[in-house]
Structure 1
């Protein structure tokens, strides 16, 4: 089988398109790259959507933690403390067990003029349940990063906004939030890189894969178990993650330049690649 045919047969297998049966023996390097690359569709899915949803939630958590109202501040503080203080794998396990306890057929939500049934069985699937856990986890870490940037805003910026008559939402949107992003972006870049690497833990969680076709680590483990040689499959998955890290560093670097475009060259914060092996 040629490498092109392998790509056609297994390129989208992780989402149920293409050949359903995996190769049994005589694995080629092309099959390693194609099948593991196919599994990265799910890693991209988890990473991109968790990063997107977690970004907005992290901003809300950071603002809530900076609030003077204890009814707003305390829940944000405990949210950050719990999700930063417990291992991500334990969060996957507890979330799955909690979702399983929910009624599988859903529950009725009365709206007055009608009643709708909210589906809950989806929460036990990896595409939704694991995504929720990753979103909450990255929101806690990013929320603490944004909170630190919020406390580091120069007082002169806020005083200048007050002098122009800005207050409330206009001051936050036009003065405070851009400064928060500019100060927090290098640290948030590292959090984004770690989030994509943390998507491999979905394979070890209790959440079942889509049609038994999982992420990149699923296929790497399959090859390793069949060949008893981990030095072929796992370097391939590491190669893909290195490419993702380089892409994220480049994309976030462009955003960082945009955020700091008004500053002199010697004052601009640069994005540096700092691998985070464990946290």
Structure 2
């Protein structure tokens, strides 16, 4: 099979389009590039959905933690502490066990948008259960970033808005919100990059791939087992994530430039990737 045929047959296999059977012999480098690239579709799905939904949850948590009312502040503080204080892999494990064992024990668990019962077995699949864990995890870390930015908003700007006669809602929308984003964006860029890297942990979690349509690491592990050579498949995964990281840095830099368009060039904060060695 030529490389063009491989692309035609396997480029969208991760989402159920194309050849169902994986190559078992005469595996080429093209096979590995195409199928691992196909698996990246799931990594993009996890990262984009968790980032988009987690952004709004993080902003709400940051505002709640900054509130004077302890009924709002304390739950937000405990949520952030819980998800920042425990390893992501353990969160995957506990969530999977909760989604599986609680319905079997006849114990319902209300998540707000749904109630975990025997009928909600879809939560045990990676596309749903793992996404929920990633969403909550990144929301906690992002909320801490936004909370720090909220505290760093100059009080003089808020006082000027009040003196101008703005309502609290208008002050937040036109003064606090844009300033918070501008201050938090470089750190939030690093959180977004880490989130996409963390999607590789879905393979090691208890959440199974749907119909064997796994992510990039799923296919890399398959090829490493079949070829007995992990020094091809895993560097391919690393290469894809390096390209993804460069793309994210470029996109977030454009947004950062937009947020700081009113500032002189010499005083604009540039987006730099600072890897988190310990989390």
Q: TM-score, normalised by structure 2?
A: 0.94
- Counterpart position of 1:218: 218
1:90 aligns with 2:106: no
What residue in structure 1 maps to residue 209 of structure 2? 209
Q: Which residue of 1 aligns with 2:229?
A: 229
TM-aligned CA distance change 1:245 to 1:192, over 3 Å: same
Shift of 1:177: 0.5
Q: For the structure 1 residues 98 and 19, does the alpha-carbon distance in structure 2 shift closer, same or farther, using more than 3 Å as the test?
A: same
Mapped partners of 1:60, 1:182: distance in 2: 17
Q: CA deviation at 1:46?
A: 0.1
CA distance in 2, matches of 1:276, 1:242: 15
Q: In the alignment, what sits opposite 2:114?
A: none
Task: Figure out how many residues of one structure are paired with residues of the other and give that number.
Answer: 271
SS of corresponding position for 1:222: helix
Alignment check: 8 A CA contact 2:43 2:196 kept: yes
Q: Secondary structure at the match of 1:269?
A: coil
C-alpha separation in 1, matches of 2:192 and 2:159? 32
Task: State yes or no: 1:69 paired with 2:78.
Answer: no
Which residue is equivalent to 1:259?
Answer: 259
| CA 1:86–1:269: 2 relative to 1, 3 Å | same
Q: Provide the residue aligned with 1:30 in structure 2.
A: 30
What are the equivalent positions in structure 2 for 1:1-80 lying under 5 Å apart?
1-80=1-80
Name structure 1 gaps, 5 residues minimum.
Answer: 110-116
User: SS of the residue aligned with 1:271?
Assistant: coil
Tell me the distance in 2 between the aligned counterparts of 1:234 and 1:17: 24
Any stretches of 5+ residues in structure 2 without a counterpart?
111-116
Q: 2:103·2:118 contact (CA, 8 Å) conserved in 1?
A: no
Describe the superposition over 1:220-266 as per-residue Cα deviations: whole angstroms up to 9, x where unpaired: 00111111111100000000000000000000000000000001111
* Structural RMSD (CA): 1.7
